[in-house]
Homo-oligomer: A and B are copies of this chain.
């Protein structure tokens, strides 16, 4: 797989942590639900911890949510597992500076692309992990 499924896996992990609150589930258990390798889970869990969404302790199972689940938005999760850059769309580098179009295309597109990205992020910010979990259990 080359597609980035970290966002989805992160949401899956947070859902499991909430549903199993108090149980002390291991990365191996989580990996069993996600159907991947425990290392992948620990890696993503590390990103969630660095972003302040979960609390983990070395050597001890059972990570816990660092905030009420209703206060964790999908945007928080998205940002936690995204690369440094954070740009949704890439722009080709080094267009020809001697061409009127090439000289300005980057800054122009950057602005347009940013608008689209912000619209997407606004929508993500409007959804919480609580809604995700509620939908999840509602489907049984």
Contact = CB atoms under 8 A, between A and B. Distances in A.
Nearest to A35: B94
Interface string A77-110: 0000000000011111111100111111101110
Interface stretch (A52-60, A61-69, A119-127): A119-127
A98 to B, nearest CB: 9
9 contacts: A1-B90, A7-B113, A8-B91, A15-B101, A19-B101, A100-B136, A101-B136, A117-B120, A120-B120
Interface of A: 1, 3-5, 7-9, 11-12, 15-16, 19, 32-36, 74, 88-96, 99-105, 107-109, 111-113, 115-120, 122-124, 127, 131-132, 135-137, 139-140
